[in-house]
Amino acid sequence: MLKIYNTLARAKQTFSPIVAGKVSMYVCGMTVYDYCHLGHARVMVVFDMVNRWLRSSGYDVTYVRNITDIDDKIIARANENGETITALTSRFIDAMNEDAARLGVWRPDQEPRATDYIHEMITMINTLIERQHAYVADNGDVYYAVSSFANYGQLSGKSLEDLRAGERVEVDVHKRDPMDFVLWKAAKPGEPSWDSPWGPGRPGWHIECSAMGERHLGQHFDIHGGGQDLQFPHHENEIAQSEGAHGCTFVNYWMHNGFIRVDDEKMSKSLGNFFTIREVLDKYDAEVVRFFILRAHYRSPLNYSDHHLNDAKQALTRLYNALRGREVPQVDIDWQQPDAARFKLALDDDFNTPEAFAVLFELANEANRTGSLAQAGLLKVLAGQLGLLQRDPDEFLKGDAGAGLAAEDIERLIEERLAARRGKNFAEADRIRDALTAQGIILEDTAQGTSWRRS
């Protein structure tokens, strides 16, 4: 049975959906004012893997991943660029979708944009005011009163007193409590605004996910995911808003993926140590990046470096080599088969991809040793559960030339080497091989001829 580490419970729990056979899952998406970085790629790829495995396990999944298309950073960037907010956000939404597609990420079932749900946010804020969980300040902002919600701090595991003592909170004389957070911001000159019962303004960040989650999945749903950095305050505030408004459990299972780190610091735009997905994909095949992300357990930190990406490339090359030059059959998965059963056991154990990959490498080794097409077929179909190994092996292994030798030049040199060997000019054959090696081209001589791949 599937077990998920629930951040709220701080333990693995057997997954039991609210409605038998169906899964409702919401994941916090991107704020679209710039190109997505590799930390965003981890969120996309991790929850794409979760989505795929839930569907493969027979569940009817409704997967929602939101887009934040209004906030302070978006307004500032649009003003800096001299463009409209709509033009800015549309451009980066398109870029985000292009990056996700290259990484093999399936589109969510629903991808709501915050600005399309202002009415739902206003309705929820109004309910919170009526239930005395929120108040209108004298500056026109609306705040959530954290002291009104008895379970505030349950997700982060801290009491309200601990949070008041330990968190850096922006000083705001209009708040009743320093920990109170904004639900609605009164309009400022030059900023976009919407009409509301409290005057023109725009929503705070946290309220959008509560409102959009309810709209698409209901007041109570199965899984809520996102990056570890969202656990507090964003997800803590979502719980307070949604449970304060509706008086029922908001989410059953909270999932958080670990950070991507560079030199032992979290990758983030604010620290200036981030790499955009596009920058990374200029250097590495997209499937290598997907493999790199999934090779680590989703809750573990993931260290980014060229060394680790190169290692991922070599590992993925090993898997593709096991499929190369074979008519790999299409097979149906028999989950009772020992290798398939181990693979399933791994992913059912809180999506333990490192153990699942161990099964794939054992299958690759055995397929190479025995030449078994059945094992090669099982390797391919199991890897497909993770969105990997679905290309023609030569397409991956010969790769993108970039600034290197074109495929036709490599083939010509291989033919020249073959001619030299036939003429017993072994010095010339070795010279050509060494020249190709210097260009990152690896030759593999077999009884069937010479194949090649890029290192």
Tell me the C-alpha distance between 313 and 140, whole Å: 55
Contact 63, 25 (CB under 8 A): yes
Sheet containing 142-144: give its strands across: 134-136, 142-144, 181-186, 201-203
Tell me the C-alpha distance between 293 and 298, whole Å: 8
Please state whether 165 falls in left (phi above 0), alpha (psi between -120 and 50) or beta.
Answer: alpha
To the question of whether residue 234 is assigned a binding role by annotation, the answer is yes
Query: How would you class 190 by CB atoms within 10 Å of its CB: exposed for 0-12, middle for 13-18, buried for 19 or more?
Result: exposed
Tell me the C-alpha distance between 233 and 378, whole Å: 44
- Distance, CA of 319 to chain centre: 23
DSSP SS3 for 18: coil
Query: Rg for the chain (alpha carbons), in Å?
Result: 26
Contact 184, 203 (CB under 8 A): yes
In one-letter notation, the amino acid at residue 324 is: R
Tell me the C-alpha distance between 198 and 140, whole Å: 7
To the question of whether residue 28 is assigned a binding role by annotation, the answer is yes
In one-letter notation, the amino acid at residue 365 is: N
Contact 213, 26 (CB under 8 A): yes
To the question of whether residue 398 is assigned a binding role by annotation, the answer is no
Any residues with CB less than 8 A from the CB of 301 and at least 6 apart, and which? 258, 259, 260, 261
Beta bridge partners of 225: 27, 255
Q: Which ranges of 322-392 does DSSP label H, i.e. alpha helix?
A: 338-348, 353-370, 373-384
Contact 299, 5 (CB under 8 A): yes
> DSSP readout, 240-274?
HHHHHHHSS--EEEEEEEPPEEETTEE--TTTT--
Token output for 147: 């002291």
DSSP SS3 for 13: strand
Binding residues: 28, 209, 234, 238, 269
Binding residues for ATP: 269
Binding residues for Zn(2+): 28, 209, 234, 238
